[in-house]
C-alpha cells in the first residue's frame, strides 16, 4: 500500500521541491554520533538526510541555520541545507545536499585560508550571538544577541558553563574563581578591534572533511558570531582539545613528553597511537563510542594548527595580544568538557583560571 502524503515528509519534499520524480535507493550512512543518517539517491541527484526519533526539530533547525549562514558566505564548502521538520511519528529530520567525500582531509592550508575567508565574509550587524541557541556537544549554547563581546563571552560562554559546573557538581570554587575572571577579562582586549564574524563554532577534526576534488568541507556547526580577533582565535574557540593547546604552544619543543603528560590518563596503546600519529578513525570518533580521550588525540593529528593557520593569517591577520587571549578561548571548551565528561577536565580549566587571575591581579 502506498503511504499517504504527509506520512513521510522526507519523501514528500524530495519528490516536490527536491525536483525528483523517483527515489531510486535509500542507504544508511555510518559515522554519525547522534542521529541516523541516510543517503537518498534520486533521478535529481542524491540527498543527505538525518533523522532523530527522540528530539524535536529545534536541533536540526539550529543545524540548518548554521549551515545556511556558512553557505551564504560563499567561501568554504558546506552542505547546503534544504529542509528540516518534524516527523509524524515523533522526532525530526533534516535534508541537505549530499557531498561525496574524498579520501583525504584535503589541503590543510586551503582549509585555513577558506575558514579565514568565511570569518571575513560572515559579518554580523546584530553583534555577537546567533538567531537561535544551539549546542556545543550536548551542552546548550546560549546565543542571545549582545552588542558587547566581553559581556557576551563572560556571560553566555564562560558564565553559563561555570553555573553548570556549580549546579551539577556543587563546584563553588571553580564557579567563584571563574566568575572573578569573567568579570575581569577587559584588559585582555585592550587595543583589539572587536568585530563580530561568523564562526563554525565546533571545529574539530570530526567536522572537517573534503570533497572529491580535495576541497575542504566543514560540517555539523555550532555557529555563532564571535570576535574576529585574529585567525587563531576562531580555531581556539572551535577546538575541542587540550592537545591542540599543546600543539599550538610547543610544536617545536619536546612535544612528545608534553603529550605524554597531557595524556597521562590514556592507555599505553593509545599513547602509542598518539605518538605514532596513526589513528584517524573517522567512523568511531564520537564521544560515546571511543570516549573522550580520542577527541584529545585527534586534533593534533589533523587539526590545522600550523600550516593552515598561517595561510589563514594572510587573509585575516591576528590581532595584537592574541596569545594572551588564546587560553581564555580554550577555557570555554575545557569547562564544557568538565561539564560533559567529568572531573578529568577540572584541573586544566582551573589552572587556566588561576593563571589569568594571577596575570590580571584579579
Contact residues for ligand ADP, defined by CB under 6 A:
29, 31-35, 37, 48, 50, 79, 96-99, 219-220
- The helix (run of H) or strand (run of E) holding residue 334 is helix 322-341
Order across the sheet with 23-29: list the strands: 23-29, 36-42, 45-52, 92-97, 81-86
Shorter beta-carbon distance to ligand ADP: residue 40 or 149: 40
Per DSSP, the three-state class of 26 is: strand
Do 60 and 50 meet the contact criterion of CB atoms below 8 Å apart?
yes
Whose CB is nearest to ligand ADP?
32
Residue (32 or 91) nearer to ligand ADP, CB: 32
Rounded-to-integer distance, Cα 112 and Cα 118, Å: 10
Tell me the sheet residues that pair with 1.
none
Shortest distance (Å) from residue 342 CB to ligand ADP: 21
For the record, the C-alpha cell of 149 comes out as 563581546
Nearer to ligand ADP, 219 or 246 (CB): 219
Helices (H), the chain: 9-14, 58-72, 108-121, 149-152, 160-169, 172-182, 232-238, 242-249, 255-262, 268-276, 287-290, 293-302, 307-315, 322-341, 346-360
Kindly tell me the number of DSSP H helices and DSSP E strands found in the chain: 15, 11
Q: How far is CA 186 from the centre of its chain?
A: 25
Question: Which of residues 180 and 281 has its CB atom nearest to ligand ADP in the complex?
Answer: 281
C-beta of 37 vs 260, nearer to ligand ADP: 37
Min CB(97)–ligand ADP separation in Å: 6
Count the neighbouring beta carbons within 10 Å of the beta carbon of residue 178: 27
Least distance between ligand ADP and beta carbon 280 (Å): 13
Residue 299: which of 335, 339, 251 has the closest Cα?
251
Q: How far apart are CA 348 and CA 338, in angstroms?
A: 9
Between 133 and 195, whose beta carbon lies closer to ligand ADP?
133
- C-alpha cell read off for 101: 567525500
Closest distance to ligand ADP from the beta carbon of 3 (Å):
25
For the bound state, the minimum distance from the C-beta of residue 242 to ligand ADP, rounded and expressed in Å, comes to 22
For residue 202, indicate whether it is catalytic.
Answer: yes
Q: Which of 171, 202, 220, 294 is the catalytic position?
A: 202
> Considering the complex, what minimum distance in angstroms separates the CB of residue 50 from ligand ADP?
6
Which residues are marked as active site? 202
Amino acid at each position: 500500500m502506498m503511504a499517504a502524503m504527509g506520512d513521510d515528509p522526507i519523501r514528500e519534499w524530495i519528490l516536490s521541491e527536491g525536483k525528483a520524480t523517483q527515489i531510486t535507493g535509500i542507504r544508511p550512512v555510518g559515522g554519525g554520533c547522534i542521529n541516523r543518517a541516510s543517503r537518498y539517491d534520486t533521478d535529481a541527484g542524491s540527498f543527505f538526510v538525518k533523522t532523530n526519533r527522540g528530539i524535536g526539530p529545534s536541533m536540526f533547525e539550529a543545524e540548518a541555520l548554521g549551515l545556511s549562514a556558512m553557505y551564504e558566505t560563499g567561501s568554504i564548502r558546506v552542505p547546503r541545507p534544504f529542509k528540516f521538520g518534524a516527523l509524524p511519528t515523533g522526532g525530526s529530520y533534516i535534508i541537505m545536499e549530499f557531498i561525496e567525500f574524498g579520501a583525504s582531509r584535503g589541503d590543510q592550508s586551503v582549509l585555513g585560508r577558506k575558514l579565514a575567508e568565511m570569518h571575513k565574509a560572515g559579518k554580523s550587524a546584530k553583534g555577537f550571538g546567533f538567531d537561535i541557541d544551539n549546542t556545543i556537544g550536548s551542552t546548550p549554547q546560549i546565543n542571545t544577541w549582545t552588542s558587547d563581546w566581553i559581556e557576551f563571552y563572560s556571560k553566555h560562554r564562560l558564565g553559563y558553563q561555570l553555573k553548570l559546573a556549580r549546579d551539577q557538581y556543587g563546584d563553588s570554587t571553580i564557579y567563584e574563581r571563574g566568575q572573578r575572571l569573567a568579570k575581569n577579562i577587559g584588559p585582555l582586549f585592550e587595543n583589539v578591534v572587536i568585530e563580530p564574524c561568523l564562526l563554525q563554532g565546533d571545529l574539530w577534526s570530526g567536522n572537517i572533511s573534503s570533497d572529491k576534488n580535495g576541497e575542504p568541507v566543514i560540517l555539523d556547526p555550532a555557529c555563532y558570531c564571535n570576535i574576529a580577533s585574529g585567525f587563531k582565535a576562531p580555531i581556539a574557540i572551535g577546538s575541542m582539545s587540550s592537545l591542540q593547546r599543546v600543539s599550538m604552544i610547543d610544536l617545536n619543543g619536546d612535544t612528545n613528553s608534553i603529550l605524554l603528560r597531557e595524556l597521562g590518563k590514556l592507555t599505553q596503546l593509545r599513547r602509542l597511537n598518539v605518538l605514532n600519529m596513526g589513528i584517524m578513525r573517522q567512523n568511531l570518533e564520537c564521544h560515546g563510542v571511543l570516549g573522550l580521550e580520542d577527541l584529545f588525540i585527534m586534533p593534533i593529528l589533523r587539526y590545522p594548527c600550523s600550516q593552515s593557520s598561517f595561510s589563514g593569517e594572510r587573509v585575516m591577520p591576528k590581532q595584537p595580544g592574541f596569545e594572551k587571549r588564546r587560553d581564555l578561548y580554550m577555557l570555554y571548551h575545557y569547562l564544557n568538557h568538565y561539564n560533559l565528561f567529568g572531573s578529568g577536565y577540572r584541573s586544566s580549566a582551573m589552572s587556566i583560571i588561576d593563571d589569568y587571575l594571577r596575570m590580571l591581579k584579579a
